[in-house]
Chains A and B, each alone.
Chain A
């Protein structure tokens, strides 16, 4: 006798709370954003806008590009290590269904 499938997701969804707990990723992204603002704007910007060379490159350029790369790496870490579970998670994409 055939059993009508109650998909796992509906069953799981029923067990979930109505209000999903805030995803760990969300807050970290906002934190990374704020960090970026702090790094790239005055006053930190003014601090590093000084004379001096690092490995023959002017300090400001080293700072800006360095901070930029650091921020990117930070986002990589957040993407890799945070729970991105949110209500409405997708199923693995089915290429046969591409419109």
Chain B
């Protein structure tokens, strides 16, 4: 065919494509996007079908039969899971503003720039063969178009200098178009609506072209399907291709299917069109069957064309990769050939444009810019507008990518079939799959795990696929393949560790996935995540739950705040009632109807901010409101800041709480001590006043009577005797009181002198009873002694003990009624040794509430008969002191109306019986 015609038609077609892209962008800027359709979306995903599908499948089918099919069955299987997997990826990308697959992986694992860079490098290296295959296809078919039936040109392509090489010019032209399509301006969201529109158009063109070719070949050149296959059955080599093949072929079948299954998501261009360029999540639903349907249709005639080609040309004359074109040309069908060529051109250009744009984005955002920003002397952070720089970097990246592809074309010549080149790339990008798919379902996946898996898988891929291809090209010695590096047989790149009999691709896939998955899982399990990683993991894996209240995708793209948003936000911090009241007040004040308002105006936003500031502080309020206004999830740095502040405040308030609790305790203790002191003070005052009173009374009596006696010399002798008697008894009383006070003072200060000797208790008790017998007789109270009839020896201080007994007895006498009163003094021996002494009376008893304080100083029980406390109140205190000093315990049992029993016990003799008359031991 005329070379000018071919070039002209091609360039014209490319210009049409460019026009569509331009129109698509224009419409998008106007807000009437053309790509908001599930059909356009599904067709854009069909960029998966490249020259590989258009030409390579036929070539593979001609030699291996059905083995082209797994590459399309895999995506069909994955499409069934689109709603689960792809939709999650889309949602995550919208929520986190993700612009490429490197961005996605980096973001998931704690915003790791290293991961982003690694993914970019793997993508760049891995995609070179893929780009190369497109360039090869276009240039080869161009040569076929121009020089058919002379097929020698394409076979010698790799020997001519590059400036005479069609592929070189193809590369340049495609680079220019890719730059024009994808890098005319920088869009922060990395949307390229025009490009997507053009891609969708190209998908239609290639489908139509291929089906047309298939129909013509099957029904025009041959007599229909049955005719074609029966002819094939007669062909010995073709008949073999009716089956899958050997056992190892089944293995390859499975491997390729699984490979294609993940690749349809992780190829950078697939990620770009399916995730980044997605405008509506619901499109994913339709794509789940539209896309496989497309694959089905475009693969319908692969086998017929392949077999027709073999039947027509045999093996050797025409490269089977070119059958699709050669068949119409052989029949002089120029128009059809042109259509087919355009179809193939569509397939190639679509791939190159989208793939290089995606690569350029990654190279720019995840590799070059981070590196440049680290070089301080460039001062890039200070530059206000970096868009020009970014554009140039991206254009450069596109150019480099395509030229690398061209280089690969030159290196490999025509030794490798198109499909093989593509499969090498598939294996490379498949290394992303564990980190990516694991990342969106497994929270525990760590950055180190992802790094380990990716690096390990990539290294294995390099060793088992890329390096050997260089050996095949002659850059490395051929012995590298046949005998391993330096003769180490176990490390043969195509038969690692002796695993032989596998297709090269399957072999590489098995090892690289083993190492990748193994390292990914193992290292993830063994390492810890830092805070950022943990937050990101949650954001990714739980993305549906976290974005549930935000009405799905479209919310995130709004650039302004809605009334609903602000209300929700405000309500969360100040309560629904207050928020509602505030909004209503605002609406009333301005005469607005908030139900009609979608967007909140700036005044309302300010109001909300102010109200929030009252609850959470001005800085946090600003962050919250501005992020609602951006329609974004609060960014993590801001959340961290808010959390930091909050935790500081919490820590501070906890400290305050502890301090105040301590203060409270101290105050309570102080107060109690104060109370005690006051009580003691009161008691001291009471004591002083009581004692003074008690001292003064007898003194007064003594003085009065003495004065009387002194003044009245001739007083009646009986009267004089009486008065003297009173004086004597009052003096005694005074002496008693002073002694008591002194006793108590001595007892309490420990200055009392004790004389411990062995005495007979019975004797002591009897003596005490005798001493008080007068009291009893005077009041006519019966005193009964209940004492054992044998001596009871005890080491004790006789005087003090007598003091106690006498005190108890005189108390008993005081508080029993006359004539009917009865007091019993009892001594009992205790089982465990020791003795108990009781003084029991049948008086009115002591009220229960007075019992606990009976033995305290100055405690006096009102005499039921006279209601005037008798005595000083010191007696029992002294008794208690003495008994305790002697090693015993004193107590009282009493019930109101049922008498009282005072009792004390004394400890047993210690050691064996001691001699009487032991010298006194002063304390």
Interfacial residues, chain A to chain B (CB-CB below 8 A) = 1-7, 9-10, 13, 25-26, 29-30, 32-33, 36-37, 40-42, 45-46, 49, 51, 53, 55-58, 60-61, 64-65, 68-69, 71-73, 75-76, 79, 84, 86-91, 93-99
Contact = CB atoms under 8 A, between A and B. Distances in A.
A56 B288 contact: no
B557 A99 contact: yes
Contacts of A30: 81, 84
Interface in B538-567: 544-545, 547-555, 557-559, 563-564, 567
A10 B569 CA distance: 12
Nearest to B228: A56
Interface stretch (B392-400, B509-517, B581-589, B644-652): B581-589
Interface in B285-315: 285-286, 288-289, 292-293, 296, 300, 303
Give the top 9 A-B pairs by smallest Cβ distance, nearest first: A90-B552, A56-B226, A2-B587, A87-B548, A4-B583, A58-B242, A75-B289, A32-B80, A88-B548
B280 interface: yes
Given A37-B77, A69-B296, A90 B280 contact: yes
Nearest to A36: B77
Contact of A87 (B28, B253, B544): B544
B80 A29 contact: yes
Contacts of A57: 225-226, 229
Contacts of A9: 549, 551
A36 B76 CA distance: 9
A87 B545 CA distance: 7
B805 interface: no
12 contacts: A1-B584, A2-B592, A9-B551, A10-B549, A36-B80, A40-B257, A46-B244, A57-B226, A58-B229, A72-B292, A75-B79, A79-B285
B554 A97 contact: yes
B655 interface: no
Nearest to B294: A72
B594 interface: yes
Nearest to A46: B250
B84 A29 contact: yes
Interface in B225-246: 225-227, 229-230, 233, 242-244
Contacts of A40: 73, 77, 257
Contacts of A2: 583-584, 587-588, 592-595
A94 B28 CA distance: 13
B552 A88 contact: yes
B33 interface: yes
B289 A79 contact: yes
Given A72-B289, A91-B552, A97-B558, A45 B244 contact: yes
A1 B288 CA distance: 48
A60 B66 contact: yes
Contacts of B81: 29-30, 33
A26 B300 contact: no
Interface string B196-236: 00000000000000000000000000000111011001000
Contacts of B547: 88
Contacts, number: 176
B866 to A, nearest CB: 80
Given A53-B229, A65-B296, A95-B32, A71 B76 contact: yes
A53 B292 CA distance: 26
Given A55-B226, A56-B225, A88-B544, A3 B282 contact: no
Given A3-B595, A41-B257, A68-B76, A49 B244 contact: yes
Contact of B83 (A3, A25, A99): A25
Contact of A90 (B229, B242, B554, B563): B554
A70 to B, nearest CB: 11
Given A55-B226, A60-B66, A69-B296, A75 B548 contact: no
Interface string B570-585: 0000000001100110
B43 to A, nearest CB: 16
Contacts of A88: 91, 544-545, 547-548, 550-552
B84 A26 contact: yes
Contacts of A87: 544-545, 548
Contact of A95 (B31, B230, B289): B31
A72 B563 contact: no
B764 interface: no
A54 to B, nearest CB: 10
Most chain B beta-carbon contacts within 10 A, residue among A51, A64, A90, A95: A90
A29 B289 CA distance: 11
A5 B810 CA distance: 92
B244 A60 contact: yes
